[in-house]
Amino acid sequence: MTMSSCSESKGWFEEDEGEGGDTLAPSRPGRSSPAVEQLLEEVEAETDPSGRLTVGGLRGKAAIVTGGSTGIGRAVAMALARSGVHVAFNYLNEGEASLLDADRTASELEAQGVRVFRKAVDCTDSAGVTRFVEEATEALGGLHILVNNAGIGRDRALWHMTDEDWHAVLDTNLSGAFYFLRAMAPRFRAQEYGKVVNISSVHALSSEFGLANYAASKSGLLALTRSAAVELGPFNVNVNAVAPGYIRTTQLTERVPSENLDRARERSPLGRLGDPQDVAGAVLFLCSEAARHITGVVLPVDGGYLL
């Protein structure tokens, strides 16, 4: 699609004060509002040489993706980098394998021509999170996007769930997201711009056995999303969440029995599990100017699992 065909299409609408009162009619050449014209310019700037349309308004921005070295976090970081976003990510230092994952992801991000900052930081360490945000801001020249992706699960029946099982999951999945959001909120307010996407889960919206701690953490993340959207909205900050279903990652296959995955696949109208790139696409949209009037919502990325 070329920009000329886009501007001449019947997809843009505006108010028409005709004989029948205020109605909606297709816009005509020369009658586009300034907001529409600005959006068209942003879209044109984000159209690649082949003419394929990509999301607008991301090139040159800087993002933090928590837990960005593997799985969904890595896919999100790569999608942002391919859109011209400089990326910082943290990871949990659990030995040589985690260091190798971080090195590999950083190299692949740098290959996209963007600046990259990485550091081993535990999301449950409030002071460490604050330092990481400060260092990432300096390394990338600013921060505009936060993707709270880091999360863990310790699944078991609630009568077998220990205090440590409960607190570890809540501290990582919910408190960690809060620490990052709190650390970045002053920057977002000062620059009057920000995009926040919290990675929740379908288990925040649907109950399953053995997930009391995980579901509570992800449900809390949705409440945090709504509250932050209300508080940060006046500063031109969008705060949204995505709720992935069963997404094929190493963590999923290690945690979930194969028969459960088969049932999830059968329950989906699409008849398949998701891939990390499916979640990354939703995050990319919510970070873009295409979603500039969307805030406080949760977008399921579940192949229809919740239907």
Catalytic residue among 91, 179, 193, 214: 214
Our answer to whether residue 179 is catalytic in this structure is no
Q: Where are the beta strands (DSSP E) in the chain?
A: 13-18, 21-26, 62-65, 86-91, 116-120, 145-148, 194-199, 237-244, 298-301
pLDDT in tens, 218-237: 999 999 999 999 999 999 99
pTM of this prediction? 0.82
Query: What pLDDT does residue 9 have?
Result: 37
Q: For 73, list phi and psi in degrees, rounded to 5.
A: -60, -40
Kindly give, in sequence order, each residue whose CB lies less than 8 Å from that of residue 193, ignoring residues fewer than 6 positions away: 144, 235, 236, 237
Three-state SS string over 10-79 comes to CCCEEEEEECCEEEEEECCCCCCCHHHHHHHHHHHHCECCCCCECCCCCCCCEEEECCCCCHHHHHHHHH
Query: What pLDDT does residue 182 have?
Result: 99
Q: Cβ distance 302 to 269 under 8 Å?
A: no
Kindly give, in sequence order, each residue whose CB lies less than 8 Å from that of residue 145, ignoring residues fewer than 6 positions away: 61, 62, 63, 64, 80, 85, 194, 195, 196, 197, 287
Domain 62-301 in CATH 3.40.47.10: no
The structural domains of the chain, with segments of one domain joined by +, span 3-45, 62-301
Q: Which residues of the chain have pLDDT under 50?
A: 1-32, 43, 45, 47-53
